[in-house]
Amino acid sequence: MSRLSQYFEGVIVKRLSAVEIDKTKSNQHEFNGVKSMLKLFGSEKVQIETDFIYLGEDEEETLISRDTLTWYDARKNHPSRTEYRLYYPNDNEVIQLALEGDLLMIAKKPDGTAFLSIIRRGSTYERQMLWLFDIVGEGEKFQVKELDGEEDREIGYVESKILEILGWEPEQEDSWLDTIIGRFGGKFPTTRLFSAFARETAEDVDLINDPDFTLIKWINHEEILFRTLERYLVQEQLDKGFEDVDAFIKFSLSVQNRRKSRMGYALENHLTYIFENHDLSFSRQAITEQNSKPDYLFPSIREYHNERFPSSLLTMLGVKSTCKERWNQVLAEANRIELKHLLTLEPGISERQTLKMQEKLLQLVLPQSIHETYTLNQKSWLLNLSDFIELVKVRESLIQ
């Protein structure tokens, strides 16, 4: 199992002040350092190759650029004083998006490079990054955290999903490659078949007594298997080469699109298998009003369209592997059902978003292990998968 220290030596965070980024108040192009930053950057002047990343309210706002930070002592020639600063280029487009109160996060990598992220205050991305690095009490002065000993963290499913936001690729396990090739002949099978293969080869699960752990185990295992096969097939194509730039771009887009669509299908494949094995009655993608197609309707679309069937015994579940601002898409999918449910794998959705969900009568469902990425107030409201299954079973027992 990999650990966070394999990716980062340490991280520093602070809230941005107006004097640091508001050009109407200051023309400053640097951050004032603190003594503890010497542990990461040393005492000599150094230029650090850095990935600059802007994380806004949603995925479409993400911006990435490559630039240089300069760590230096502005009082180097003074006999008794030191004043360390971190200089950034004035024209960096990520920095230009920063607002007062946004979170600045800088992490030093083991290879000497770094990443600098500007994260919109109150956003889901902010909650995810603070949880990943276990940061509390951030203010306008740098807080430094070295990632060693007890401060280090094992990389599980949730951690790997957050690291992907910062550009890190999940692990592959080449030991599975021969088995995958032997089963599927060196090409991508349908997601249904690949999900079944993942369930078949995953170990130590109990889908009846612990569906929450089982779902995450299957999703994580399938992700590893998928990336293993994907790496093999992409490398095979790279070795063959491309006729021209357009062919390369088309291939690259196909890889990205497959990644995005596959996760959603895989999640639904595994959920369907769990619901079937819990003997739940449901309809998949059945048509309701305005040609809407909820992911799951319990007990079935027949009861939904039966006006004499009590609405209180109907349950709708939308499914989105990630949701951010897209959660409101499920609100119009089943008009007869007042309180709707949405299952997602999204860690640390902001309190602002979950409050909106509650106002719109949308109940969030998450596998239990993802609950820890939410605040204490949010946890008291969340359901896990076991809770949801029990809710459906209780409603089924009341059907006359």
- Give the per-residue SS3 of 344-379: ECCCCCCHHHHHHHHHCCEEEECCHHHHHHCCHHHH
Blockwise average pLDDT, block size 10, the chain, 400 residues: 86 88 66 84 90 85 88 78 83 88 92 92 92 84 82 86 83 81 91 96 94 96 92 90 90 86 93 98 94 95 96 96 84 94 95 95 97 95 98 93
Q: What is the pLDDT of residue 22?
A: 66
Percent helix, strand and coil across the chain, each to the nearest 5? 45, 20, 35
**To 5 degrees, how large is the angle CA 216–CA 281–CA 388?**
45
Return contacts of 355-359, CB within 8 angstroms, 24+ apart. Answer: 356/328, 357/327
Q: What is the pLDDT of residue 1?
A: 65
**Around Cβ 115, how many Cβ atoms within 10 Å?**
20
Domain 4-165 class, CATH top level:
mainly beta
CATH 3.90.1300.10 fits domain 283-397: no
Q: What is the pLDDT of residue 306?
A: 96
HSE-CB of 89 using CA atoms within 13 angstroms: 15
Burial of 150 (0-12, 13-18, 19+ CB in 10 A): exposed
CATH fold for the domain made of 174-277 = Restriction Endonuclease (3.40.91)
In the chain, where does the domain assigned CATH 2.40.330.10 lie? Answer: 4-165
HSE-CB of 357 using CA atoms within 13 angstroms: 24
CA-nearest of 195, 267, 258, 196 to 231 is 258
Residue 383: strand pairing partners: 365
In the chain, where does the domain assigned CATH 3.40.91.80 lie? Answer: 174-277, 283-397
| Cis preceding linkage at 110, omega within 30 | no
Q: What is the pLDDT of residue 25?
A: 57
Alpha-carbon span 228 to 230, nearest angstrom: 5
Q: What is the pLDDT of residue 26?
A: 55
HSE-CB of 378 using CA atoms within 13 angstroms: 23
Alpha-carbon span 65 to 167, nearest angstrom: 12
